[in-house]
Amino acid sequence: MNSGPIIETRDLRKTYRVGKVDVPALRGVDLTVKPGEFLAIVGPSGSGKSTLFHIIGGLTPPTSGEVHVAGQDLAAMTDAGRTRLRKRSVGFVFQKFNLLPNLTARDNIAIARHIGGFDSKPEASFEEVLRLLGIANRLDHKPSELSGGEQQRVAIARAIVNHPAILLADEPTGNLDSESSKAVLEILRGLNERLGQTILMITHNPEAAAYGHYIVHMRDGKIIERTS
Amino acid sequence: MTAKLVLENLKHKPMRSLLSILLIGVPVTLILCLVGLSHGMLEDSARRTRGIGADVIVRPPGTSLLTLSGAPMPAALVDYFRKLPHVALAMGVVNHPMQTTLVATGIDLQEFDKMSGGFTYIEGGPFQGPNDVLLDRYYAAQQGVHAGGRINLLNREWRVVGVIEGGKLARIVFPVKVLQDLTSSNGRFSQIYLKLDNPANTAATIRDLKAAMPEYQIYSMEEFTSLFSVNNIQGLHEFIIVIMAIGVIIGFAVVCLSMYMAVLQRTREIGILKSLGASKSFILRIILAEALLLGIGGTLLGILMSFGAWWLIRTIVPASIPMVIVPSWWPIAGFITLVGTGLGALYPGLSAARHDAIEALAYE
């Protein structure tokens, strides 16, 4: 495994303009993540966790500082470049699942393949991942016919179907009961351990955070502590 | 996969999709009905003119193709024509407008029978008195009268002496002298038809007539009926263009509103697609494809509704509005609609493509 960092940020800053007021969301974040690591990011609301995710995931550019993801310099990237990054290098899992409601679970996964520039049908080997996720027999259902836990597992399948370098999970258990939460966290750990998937997970839940190899604590737009 | 997403989006809000298709279909029907009406009127006029059996038509100076009212030509002209070489028969008729699209004609029935071979009577028979009128089957059906019945025309009551097969001369036929009296045009005709001893002499006869009467409009019947086209009716072409423009505007407005609402409703889904790496052009393509499908649906429904309008018109007013179905206009109406819908989807599509992914994902 390549031991060089898959994510590296240096003095990363992001300031949002709200009306006529500048609101700093990140105030100089230095973070290094190696391939295959499972990081939990914790911190109170407004600490900058989501903003950090959005920048690493290429959803928004930084205001200043350096950010490299899978060898690509995001600070210098255009909007089109960040779009390309999201196609293949980054997979997102959201608190609200964010499946396309009009499509079946299978088609939600297929659309990610299609947008990523691959054949819509996942490779045969992906069947194993679907079995690991426990959704192989639920693929022809629309999100409204699936439980929260099932929806989140479909969302995880969609996030990793293009073999992204990193999986960004934003409160993946925030809308789930404790049983489903445990199942999703076990799946994330399984993906990390079996497939070597690099995972960054935002969570408020200390039990969920304990699944990570490291826990990064954020407050007021900065990383204040990294514990293992 | 894109096609599936577009179809599923349309299926997800069936009422919105159906209403949009209906609203897009209305201007398509409007265009097709207008074109069908124009073509129907002209084809009907041409067919009935051909049914007269003449070889040459002489019209007064300065009249347009559809200006059939008035009787400015002196009856002496008919006698003059009768004496010309090759002219076997000459018959003057008087036209009088009844409605915008309906003209009554006064004829000498004996002369008309000689020239055309006579009417085919479905009910009743020829004129027996000055209060008699002949109606063609369509106008009789429209008015719900039969031979022997009464009908009020030109502010007086007439006896329907016969119901004739359509396709010859006019839908309403009066004795020529009666109509001349009623329209204060005694001794004058609206137009004069000539039947020659041999149709092969038509060109030569017309050449001689034009030399002798340069101010009159003199045509072979073949040439005259070929003039019954949309482009030869002053203002009709422009009128159709205006209606088409209205069709484009309605299609544009309907799709713009519908797709704008759809984009608003699907803000979060657009955010999801962007998080998956969908480019601006991908989002725009989806919106445009959805609008074009609505446009195609609207075109098909519009064509279907034009058949409905055609059936309704034929049932209610078969004589006044001789509408026909013009399939050659289906692709034109479809193209016009697709241009309107494509333009209408551009703003919502571009707006969707420009959505900020993070804001879209946070949309409730």
Q: What ipTM was reported for this prediction?
A: 0.92
pLDDT score of B340 more than 60: yes
Interface-testing mutation among A78, A83, A121, with chain B (most B C-beta atoms within 10 A)? A83
Question: What is the sign, positive or negative, of the torsion defined by CA atoms of B236, B242, B248, B253?
Answer: negative
B13 contact A CB<8A: no
- A22 found inside a domain: no
B6 contact A CB<8A: no
In the numeric block, the tokens 């737009």 are attached to A221
Q: Which of B4, B268, B277 sits opposite A116 (nearest CB)?
A: B277
Instruction: Determine the pLDDT at residue A124.
Output: 83
Contact (CB<8Å) B1/A102 = no
Instruction: Determine the pLDDT at residue A105.
Output: 95
- A221 found inside a domain: yes
Contacts of residue B291, defined as CB under 8 A and 6 or more positions apart, other chains included, come to B255, B258, B259, B341, B342, B344, B345, B349
- A71 found inside a domain: no
- A212 found inside a domain: yes
Residue-wise over A67-102: b if at least 16 C-beta within 10 A, else e?
Answer: bbbbebebbebeeeebbbbbbbbbbbbbbbbbbbbb
Distance CA B34, CA B244 (A): 10
The more confidently predicted of residues A122 and B157 is: B157
- A148 found inside a domain: yes
Average pLDDT, chain A: 91
Q: Which of B52-56, B144-148, B228-232, B332-336 has the lowest mean pLDDT?
A: B228-232
SS3 B172: strand
pLDDT in tens, B191-247: 999 999 998 999 999 999 999 988 898 999 888 888 877 776 777 788 888 888 887
Instruction: Give me the amino acid identity at B160.
Output: V
What is the band of B65 on the pLDDT scale with cuts at 50, 70, 90? low
Contact (CB<8Å) B275/A92 = yes
Instruction: Determine the pLDDT at residue B61.
Output: 84
For residue A134, the enclosing domain spans 35-59+78-227
Instruction: Determine the pLDDT at residue A88.
Output: 86
Q: What is the mean pLDDT of residues B93-120?
A: 88
Distance from CA of B362 to the nearest CA of A (A): 10
Contact (CB<8Å) A101/B12 = yes
Instruction: Determine the pLDDT at residue B127.
Output: 93
Q: What is the mean pLDDT of residues A167-193?
A: 91
What is the band of B64 on the pLDDT scale with cuts at 50, 70, 90? low
Of residues B52, B91, B57, the one with CA closest to residue B202: B57
Instruction: Determine the pLDDT at residue B274.
Output: 94
**Which residue blocks in B51-125 are alpha helix, DSSP H?**
76-82, 109-116
Instruction: Determine the pLDDT at residue A1.
Output: 44
Distance from CA of B252 to the nearest CA of A (A): 26
Distance CA B24, CA B301 (A): 9
pLDDT in tens, A59-96: 999 999 999 998 899 989 999 999 999 998 999 999 99
pLDDT over 90 percentage in chain B: 48
Q: Which residue of B has its CA nearest to A79?
A: B279
What is the band of B40 on the pLDDT scale with cuts at 50, 70, 90? confident
Q: Which residue of A has its CA nearest to B361?
A: A98
- A12 found inside a domain: no
pLDDT in tens, B253-295: 888 888 888 888 889 999 999 999 999 999 999 999 999 999 9
pLDDT score of B51 more than 70: yes
Question: How many domains in chain A?
Answer: 1
- A158 found inside a domain: yes
- A107 found inside a domain: yes
Distance CA B249, CA B339 (A): 10
Whether the predicted model's global pTM rises above the 0.80 cut: no
Contact (CB<8Å) B272/A98 = yes
Q: Which residues of chain B does A85 touch, with a Cβ-Cβ cutoff of 8 Å?
A: 277
pLDDT score of B68 more than 60: no
Instruction: Determine the pLDDT at residue B183.
Output: 87
pLDDT score of A223 more than 70: yes
B150 contact A CB<8A: no
* Run of H or E including B295: helix B280-316
pLDDT score of B67 more than 70: no
- Supply the CATH number for residue A113's domain: 3.40.50.300
